[in-house]
A = this chain, B = another copy of it.
Amino acid sequence: MSTVRLLADDELSPEARVVFDEIRALRRTDVVNNFWRALAHDPALMRRTWESVRDVMAPGALDPLTKELIYAAVSIANNCEYCIRSHTAAARAKGMTEAQYMELVAVVAAASQTNRLATALQVPVDEAFKAVP
């Protein structure tokens, strides 16, 4: 149960309805996830969030699957169950194989391990790593 009610389609404000329509059109599905049904209480927040995610995840210098893998990895590091599950599902829908998934998980775990080692020992940054293009 969320901290606000999840809004059904017939409870949406006109501004929220427009965003729902855009989500359905871009994703080519009638399903709108719980995440948007909670955000719909604040149409301005929902619109900002939707446009931001839509633009960031569009194909660019990185392909959509790579972006989805990064999104899932961050969600694991941030410990957000909803996000882990939704972006794992999204990555699978975009073609992530199970072998790729387990490797993603392995990289996240390895990074978490060395991150803590570097932090624990307060290792100073090597000069070579400070070079900026």
A75 to B56, CA, bound (A): 20
Contacts of A79 in B (CB 8 A): 78-80, 119
Contacts of A105 in B (CB 8 A): 42, 45, 116-117, 120-121
Name 15 extra pairs, CB < 8 A, besides A35-B118, A82-B123: A2-B121, A3-B122, A4-B102, A6-B124, A34-B123, A41-B102, A52-B110, A53-B114, A69-B70, A70-B70, A74-B74, A81-B125, A83-B115, A89-B129, A110-B113
Contacts of A74 in B (CB 8 A): 73-74, 76-77, 107-108, 111-112, 115
Cβ contacts A83-94/B at 8 Å (1 or 0 each): 111111100100
Q: How many copies does the complex hold?
A: 6
Q: How far is the CB of A97 from chain B (nearest CB, A)?
A: 6
Contact B34 A117 (CB under 8 A): no
Closest to A125 in B: B85
Q: How far is the CB of A43 from chain B (nearest CB, A)?
A: 10
Contacts of A75 in B (CB 8 A): 111, 115
B-binding segment of A8-16, A18-26, A60-68: A60-68
